[in-house]
Amino acid sequence: MEKLTLSVNQTLKLGKRIAVCLGPGDILLLSGNLGAGKTVLAKGIAQGLGIDKNEVISPTFVLLRLYQGKHLLQHFDFYRINRPQDIYALGCQEYLDSRAVTLIEWPERLKFLLPKEFLKIKLILKGKNQRLLKFTAKGLRYKKLLKEIGAGINPALSLKVNTCKERAG
Ligand SMILES: Nc1ncnc2c1ncn2[C@@H]1O[C@H](COP(=O)(O)OP(=O)(O)OP(=O)(O)O)[C@@H](O)[C@H]1O
Ligand SMILES: [Mg+2]
């Protein structure tokens, strides 16, 4: 699935719609170059979970920030990690199978530590204010999640949005 946003606000709104479908244990990889909009999308998702978007800042220097909303939100940024081994040293891998909603910026840095199943959103810069978001799901659970998100984003299928809350593992 792909979605083009034409402004920061549209990316925030998209994040909010995605958040409606998320539950404990869900892992979202936010991929894309510097300034692609990963943190903006994370702010939108946080907002959708009832967290003040202004509280959400890039965790680049601390690797992880935690926020309590409708679900616990953990926001990782592995930009500064050069070797996945360093993640062991920091004990971060333990968080990956937690019951929180997990957002990971710069997931490529994880290499062999990447979770086996996830929803990946790649953000691509298309213009000053335009970003293309490409969604890919790995694993059955995330393929189902992606369908629900798709239904939430596509107004023609909006009736299906309600089913998001019914998804149980
Ligand atoms: N449609 C859009 N969606 C998201 N951000 C946009 C959009 N148009 C312009 N921008 C701008 O792009 C920048 C995105 O910054 P952001 O911090 O989210 O990037 P990032 O992918 O998290 O980068 P980094 O790898 O440095 O963490 C912001 O300055 C934002 O204002
Ligand atoms: Mg960022």
Task: State the ligand closest to the CA atom of 43.
Answer: 1
Q: What range defines the domain where residue 134 resides?
A: 2-164
Successive 10-residue mean pLDDT values, the chain, 169 residues: 96 97 96 97 97 85 86 92 77 72 93 91 97 97 96 63 51
* Shortest-distance Cα residue to atom 31 of ligand 1: 8
* Shortest-distance Cα residue to atom 6 of ligand 1: 8
Encode 92-128: b = buried (16+ Cβ within 10 Å), e = exposed: beebbeeebbbbbbbbebbeebbbeebbbbbbbeeee
> Is residue 169 domain-resident?
no
- Number of structural domains the chain divides into: 1
**pLDDT score for 158:** 44
Task: State the ligand closest to the CA atom of 123.
Answer: 1
* Shortest-distance Cα residue to atom 18 of ligand 1: 37
| CATH number of domain containing 15 | 3.40.50.300
Does ligand 1 come within 6 angstroms of the Cβ of 127?
A: no
Q: Which residue type occupies 141? A: R
- Using a cut of 0.85, tell me whether the model's pTM lies above it: yes
**pLDDT score for 159:** 44
